[in-house]
């Protein structure tokens, strides 16, 4: 390793394990075309981090000194996106390679915009590669793989943190959370997904800064919530959100209920549903966003439906009304698109219908597009004793004898075991 003044450590090709074979062909094409046109180009962020951890990266992000317009001009399959951060997306079939221009974070630049609390509203001030490294969130996310000579550039001691599995914010933790409170949710997600320890100050400042999540637009919280719960480590994510007292900013009704009376059966239900989601994500099976929202809002919906029944409403109308009320309060925090919020309500209202195992109703139920998710939901309830186990068995058998209706949602009982993390 070569230590260079100004905090840069260069790890040459023969001293790290990243091989071009594990980088997507499209990402390599973009890197080579950029350098061939005279720009600097590096792989950066999660792609480098995951390759060093010998994990398959979810996507490949590239950083360059070319401006978005210059990059756009090199690739006809590209377009400029974003306002807060302007980026270029280059499309290769189903794969999108994201190219960002090196940026610096100078609060006094006219192209950087902060609000009164120091939150970044716009950040389009270009800078050099070192500036770019320092404005990133965690040291593990700030490593560059330089396509010029296949070395790794480390400006923040990220490699040492990856080796010791430590998640550390670059710079002063509370300031970095003030600039962008979503970094607290990213800390939880990466700690859970990568099985990293959150470094002491990075961790402590979450308790101090959590309330800043109140100001984050509901649309961004929807994206981030899905990333958290579809990370393949949702059970750990949920534990960490509770540990850091962050659940209240995402799911206030659930948080309030768990504070008042942490009903064991409901906690078991959530845990089992998250185990199931993790197993599906980790074996590349489809997971619907509706399922997660149906699960995490079920305790308050269930409780409210019981209250409404005691006011003489029948079960299905009570569930329907409770579902609408809980969902409309939830939408103030997380902008759940209508198709998912509607499907979550369908899942809830379907629950009592599973109790009817005679007559034509059964064929009608199984034909719904949400049947599979509602059936999984019911079986998970049965696993924790919230509905009789025989119902799950009955519907599992029923699907086997009625496969015609059921091509897409082939029967499979939810897995019991915790997936290896």
Binding site for ligand ATP (CB under 6 A): 45-46, 58-59, 61, 136-137, 141-142, 180, 182-183
**Nearest to ligand ATP of 232, 323 (CB atom):** 232
What is the smallest separation between the CB atom of 201 and ligand ATP, expressed in angstroms? 17
What is the smallest separation between the CB atom of 61 and Mg ion, expressed in angstroms? 5
Could you confirm whether 137 is annotated as catalytic?
A: yes
What CA–CA distance (Å, rounded) separates 393 from 207?
44
What is the smallest separation between the CB atom of 352 and ligand ATP, expressed in angstroms? 38
**Nearest to ligand ATP of 193, 372 (CB atom):** 193
List CB contacts of 306: < 8 A, sequence separation 6 or more: 318
What CA–CA distance (Å, rounded) separates 195 from 216?
26
**Nearest to Mg ion of 61, 146 (CB atom):** 61
The token pair at 155 is 């400006």
Catalytic residue among 50, 123, 132, 137: 137
What CA–CA distance (Å, rounded) separates 400 from 394?
10
Among ligand ATP, Mg ion, none, the one that 255 touches (CB under a kind-dependent 5 to 8 A) is none
CA atoms within 13 A on the CB side of 174: 7
What is the smallest separation between the CB atom of 407 and ligand ATP, expressed in angstroms? 32
- Contact with Mg ion (CB under 5 A) among 28, 37, 59, 150: 59
Residue among 77, 72, 67, 71 nearest 126 (CA): 67
Does 99 bind Mg ion (CB under 5 A)? Our answer is no
Among ligand ATP, Mg ion, none, the one that 137 touches (CB under a kind-dependent 5 to 8 A) is ligand ATP
Among Mg ion, ligand ATP, none, the one that 182 touches (CB under a kind-dependent 5 to 8 A) is ligand ATP
Which x/- pattern, by CB under 5 A, does the window 26-55 give for Mg ion?
A: --------------------x---------
Residue among 321, 382, 373, 318 nearest 355 (CA): 382
Residue 39 neighbours by CB distance under 10 Å = 18
**Nearest to Mg ion of 50, 278 (CB atom):** 50
Could you confirm whether 59 is annotated as catalytic?
A: yes
- How big is the site for Mg ion, counted in residues (CB under 5 A)? 2
What is the smallest separation between the CB atom of 368 and Mg ion, expressed in angstroms? 35
List CB contacts of 143: < 8 A, sequence separation 6 or more: 44, 48, 49, 52, 152, 153, 154, 158, 159, 162
What is the smallest separation between the CB atom of 260 and ligand ATP, expressed in angstroms? 33
**Nearest to ligand ATP of 174, 342 (CB atom):** 174
What residues line the site for Mg ion (CB under 5 A)? 46, 59
Q: Catalytic amino acids?
A: 59, 61, 137
């Amino acid at each position: 390793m070569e230590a260079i003044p100004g905090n840069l450590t260069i790890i040459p090709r023969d001293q790290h394990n990243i091989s071009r074979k594990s980088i997507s062909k499209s990402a390599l094409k973009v890197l080579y075309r950029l350098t061939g046109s005279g720009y600097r180009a590096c792989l950066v962020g999660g792609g480098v981090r995951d390759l060093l951890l010998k994990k398959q990266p979810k996507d490949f992000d590239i950083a360059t000194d070319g401006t978005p317009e210059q990059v756009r001009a090199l690739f006809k399959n590209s377009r400029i996106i974003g306002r807060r951060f302007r980026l270029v997306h280059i499309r290769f079939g189903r794969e999108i390679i994201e190219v960002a221009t090196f940026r610096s974070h100078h609060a006094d630049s006219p192209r950087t915009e902060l609000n009164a609390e120091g939150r970044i509203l716009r950040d389009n001030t270009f800078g050099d590669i070192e500036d770019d490294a320092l404005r990133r969130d965690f040291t593990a996310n700030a490593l560059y793989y330089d396509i010029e000579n296949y070395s790794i550039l480390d400006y923040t001691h990220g490699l040492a943190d990856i080796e010791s599995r430590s998640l550390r914010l670059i710079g002063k933790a509370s300031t970095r959370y003030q600039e962008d409170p979503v970094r607290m949710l990213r800390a939880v997600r990466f700690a859970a997904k990568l099985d990293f320890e959150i470094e002491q100050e990075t961790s402590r400042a979450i308790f101090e800064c959590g309330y800043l999540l109140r100001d984050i637009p509901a649309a961004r919280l929807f994206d981030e919530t899905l990333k958290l719960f579809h990370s393949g480590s949702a059970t750990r994510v949920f534990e960490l959100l509770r540990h850091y007292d962050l659940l209240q900013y995402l799911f206030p009704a659930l948080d309030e209920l768990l504070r008042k009376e942490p009903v064991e059966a409901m906690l078991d239900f959530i845990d089992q549903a998250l185990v199931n989601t993790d197993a599906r994500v980790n074996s590349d099976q489809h997971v619907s966003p509706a399922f997660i929202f149906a699960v995490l809002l079920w305790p308050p919906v269930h409780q409210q439906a019981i209250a409404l029944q005691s006011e003489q409403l029948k079960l299905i109308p009570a569930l329907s009304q409770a579902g609408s009320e809980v969902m409309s309060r939830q939408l103030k925090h997380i902008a759940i698109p209508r198709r998912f919020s509607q499907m979550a309500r369908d899942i809830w209202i379907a629950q009592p219908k599973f109790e009817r195992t005679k007559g034509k109703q059964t064929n009608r139920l199984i034909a719904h597009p949400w049947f599979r998710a509602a059936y999984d939901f019911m079986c998970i309830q049965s696993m924790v004793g919230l509905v009789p186990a025989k119902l799950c068995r009955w519907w599992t058998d029923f699907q086997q004898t009625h496969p015609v209706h059921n091509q897409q949602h082939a029967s499979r009982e939810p897995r019991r075991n915790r997936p290896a993390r």
